[in-house]
Amino acid sequence: MMKNLVFLGAPGAGKGTQAKRISEKYGIPHISTGDILRANIKEGTELGKLAKSYIDKGLLVPDEVIVKVMDARLKEADCKNGYLLDGFPRTIEQAKALDKITNVTLAINIAVDSDAVVARIAGRRMCVCGESYHVSTHPSDVCDKCGAKLYQRDDDKEETVKARLEVYEKQTAPLIEYYSAKGVLKDVDGMKDVAEVTDEIIKVIDGNR
């Protein structure tokens, strides 16, 4: 069966972490709009500059920009046996646009507590080498891997996280009902241990839950 998956959940729910694990298990590409946009921001492309002006304020990048990016990505050869979307769609309009491009077979909602999300994201620290840490388990501001000084992304700052959560509740949370009405939504408890959440997701995908 084709595995066209969409991961839903508030910012900080662990979608990226789980997406990487599930992508590896099933051999399908993990497509993150955040990663695509951050790459453009780093390269200084016009799309990157435009996206950064919205992201730094905790706002969503306009639909027409995201839809064009995703349409092109889903046409690439590695998506022929399925894909896993992380961070898209984020609005009902995007979901409807996605329906015109492809057929979503399963939407998995990773449910978490809002206060826990703020603590989880605001405590995240990044390194230029690609490693990421959390202040609760790594109080040092130096990377263990390369020794570089860690930094906090602008969109990980507490005030920005709270703004992102407000945007999520207004614009993205309605997708839960949207996919539920289509009969393809499944919920998993994102407050559990990372490995336990992965196991739950696998059960859902394999039809064992």
Question: Averaged over 37-65, what is the pLDDT?
Answer: 83
Q: At residue 60, does pLDDT exceed 80?
A: no
Task: Please tell me which residue, 189 or 117, carries the higher pLDDT value.
Answer: 189
Q: 75-85: per-residue pLDDT in tens?
A: 889 999 999 99
20, 21, 57, 153: the catalytic one is 153
pLDDT for 36: 79
Residue ranges making up the domain that contains 36: 3-113+166-205
Whether 38 is catalytic: no
Q: At residue 34, does pLDDT exceed 80?
A: no
Q: What share of the chain is helix, strand, coil (3-state, %, to 5)?
A: 50, 15, 35
For residue 74, tell me if it sits in a domain: yes
* Number of structural domains found in the chain: 1
* Range from 14-23, 44-53, 150-159, 197-206 carrying the lowest mean pLDDT: 44-53
For residue 63, tell me if it sits in a domain: yes
Question: Averaged over 23-29, what is the pLDDT?
Answer: 94
For residue 50, tell me if it sits in a domain: yes
For residue 161, tell me if it sits in a domain: no
Whether 120 is catalytic: no
pLDDT for 24: 94
CATH number of the domain enclosing 56 = 3.40.50.300
**Euclidean distance between CA atoms 173 and 195, whole angstroms:** 25
52, 73, 125, 164: the catalytic one is 164
52, 73, 120, 124: the catalytic one is 124
**Euclidean distance between CA atoms 209 and 204, whole angstroms:** 5
For residue 128, tell me if it sits in a domain: no
Q: 109-159: per-residue pLDDT in tens?
A: 999 988 888 988 899 999 999 999 999 999 999 999 999 999 999 989 999
pLDDT for 37: 81
Residue 114, SS3?
helix
Question: Averaged over 36-47, what is the pLDDT?
Answer: 82
Whether 209 is catalytic: no
Please, which residues bridge with residue 85 across strands?
A: 6, 31
Q: How far is CA 198 from each of CA 2, 22, 30, 186, rounded to the nearest angstrom?
A: 19, 7, 15, 14
pTM: 0.76
Whether 164 is catalytic: yes
pLDDT for 42: 87
Which own/partner contact pairs does 144-153 have at CB distance under 8 Å and 24+ positions apart? Answer: 150/125, 150/126, 151/125, 151/126, 151/127, 152/124, 152/125, 152/126, 153/124, 153/126
For residue 32, tell me if it sits in a domain: yes
pLDDT for 157: 92
pLDDT bin (cut points 50, 70, 90) of residue 49 is confident
Question: Averaged over 191-195, what is the pLDDT?
Answer: 92
Whether 73 is catalytic: no
Nearest to 105 by CA among 73, 72, 83, 120: 83
For residue 119, tell me if it sits in a domain: no
52, 73, 90, 120: the catalytic one is 90
For residue 156, tell me if it sits in a domain: no
Q: At residue 1, does pLDDT exceed 70?
A: no
